[in-house]
Amino acid sequence: MPMSSSSAGVLTIDLGAIQSNWRYVASRLKHAECAAVVKANAYGVGDMEVASALYQAGCRSFYLATMEEAAALRLFLPENATLYVLGGVRVGAEPEFLQSNLIPVLFTLSNIYSWLRFCASIQRPLPCVIKLDTGMSRLGLSNAEWNEFIASMPLDPWLNPVLLMSHLACADEPAHPLNEVQLNEFQTAIEKIKAFFPAVKASLANSSGTFLGESYHFDMVRIGAALYGINPQPSLSNPLAQVIELQLPVLQIRTTEKPVFVGYSAEGHAKAAVRLAVVAGGYADGVHRTLGLSPKGVANGTPVSAIGRMSMDSTVFDISAVALPPEFIQVINNEILLDVLIKDNKSLGYEVLTSLGRRYLRRYLYGRD
């Protein structure tokens, strides 16, 4: 019994809600700039659409992971938008940074030396960002590298750092002692670099870090998760707007004539006279990561649950409690929030968003203030 005219799920992205979330965070800042992290295709919801909407809202600084991401986005944003590349610059790729007007985040001494050689070759001190590791042990200059940097590199005439940055490891846990440790180390680093570059700006806070207080804001905060409605303070109520809705079309409805197994490995069981709806959406679409191993949904306003193991392209729901045959089942909406999925499935908001498949029909909502 075919039910839907489309075999693809529909992912609705409320760009107005993303703008509202950016404005909410920006309004909490006294002096700092609010930059947007739109890497990984804006966490899976569309970098061109999200960045364009944020630019219209007033955002002027954007962070991406790779040169390729940034160069592609540069084609859609005005020249006064600043694009930072978190993944640095590989040797030989420097001309493309210059051509696309991109600013690399440099996090090793070799990164910095290579960049300086290129700047010397063109006789231009191009802007760059220096990233310091203050306790996350991820990308960034180590203490030893930082000391070497401070001892010699600021004397290089081609060095032009416009920003010193680091990244908080535990910002979503306000009481974690590492937050203050990182803050103090970063403040010390700022004092040292400003002795050579008084105009250099500083950035430490991510989405959750922004809510740790003004002392963490410095000149710029970089928000990613908060843009997309993920709660930056998990222990408190979420002040941000829900951004996405995902609905999966019903491809077939069947009523069991006797007790049956459902799905691979016969992991699911259904009694007789149970109505089952097969929807388009499986692990190839990120459903396993987005919704957990036992997805919940809403069909015609009635809560429903998946049954059995999902397949690559489909999932089966028990819709016995639904009065009328549904055309689709909502699996993310204003009732099944991202925060609910994160909590129930013990996953991260980033995982939920970036796992969303590319086969969905994407519908963008505009005009919300």
- The SS3 call for residue 63 is strand
Say which DSSP state 123 is in.
T
* From 30, 264, 296, 350, the catalytic residue: 264
39 noted as active-site residue: yes
In 3D space, the residue among 129, 200, 130, 139 whose CA is nearest the CA of residue 167 turns out to be 139
**How far, in Å, CA of 221 to CA of 112, rounded?**
23
- What kind and span of H or E run contains 208? helix 207-210
Query: What is the C-alpha end-to-end distance of the chain, expressed in Å?
Result: 42
**How far, in Å, CA of 49 to CA of 27, rounded?**
22
- The SS3 call for residue 48 is helix
* From 24, 30, 39, 364, the catalytic residue: 39
Cite the beta strand spans of 65-181 per DSSP E.
82-85, 102-106, 128-131, 161-165
Q: β-strand 275-280 against 128-131: which pairing, if any?
A: unpaired
In 3D space, the residue among 10, 32, 47 whose CA is nearest the CA of residue 18 turns out to be 47
**How far, in Å, CA of 167 to CA of 139, rounded?**
9
Phi/psi of residue 123, nearest 5 degrees: 60, 40
Q: Which residues are catalytic?
A: 39, 264
